[in-house]
Chain A
């Protein structure tokens, strides 16, 4: 019983260490903010190559930081959601097709539920930890074979 308990505690400590690494990288080391800034810059650059009736503001959701792009500007519903721009349906479709973008909304629309980028990052860190745990178990954890057969 004591050995089983200590094994679970070791696993929890390992998971906590992996989550801490994910949080440190995302928050204090600024990887999350850099990711958001890169998405904004890429979309602004892309929009600068399209003929639009007016300037379009691009902002990645910051409270909380999420992979949701908030657009602002004078653009009709047809141009936002229906017109074919480079094979995508409307400006919304075009922006949503960019790698790293999880959703698109306009500044005057109500904000729905969003998944914070930190939660996604911690989920990825937990998944990587679990894969490492599985590989480690294959290498170190399997019972030793006693015989040749």
Chain B
């Protein structure tokens, strides 16, 4: 199994990267409510 993983290391690295991008996409932080309110007030 390890041999198979090592043989496909580039593909597995790509899958890992896809996982990180998925996390960035799915768990993107929203700005806290207080921050958003301040930004809204600053707008004309």
Contacts and interface: CB of A to CB of B under 8 A. Distances in A.
Pick from A7, A140, A143 the residue with the most CB of B within 10 Å.
Answer: A140
A102 B5 CA distance: 13
Contacts of A148: none
Nearest to A143: B29
B23 A21 contact: no
Interface string B24-36: 1111110010000
Pick from A121, A131, A135, A136 the residue with the most CB of B within 10 Å.
Answer: A136
Name the interface size band of chain A.
35 or more
A18 B15 contact: yes
A18 B5 contact: no
Nearest to B5: A124
A126 B18 CA distance: 10
Interface string A111-149: 000000100110011101111111111011101101000
Pick from B5, B7, B12, B19 the residue with the most CB of A within 10 Å.
Answer: B19
B26 A7 contact: yes
Interface residues of B, number: 28
Interface string B6-22: 01101111111111111
Nearest to A130: B19
Contact of A133 (B4, B13, B20): B20
Contact of A144 (B2, B24, B32): B32
Nearest to B23: A136
Contact of A18 (B4, B19, B23): B19
Given A21-B14, A139-B20, 7 more contacts: A15-B22, A25-B10, A31-B8, A31-B11, A35-B8, A100-B4, A121-B8
Interface of B: 1-5, 7-8, 10-29, 32
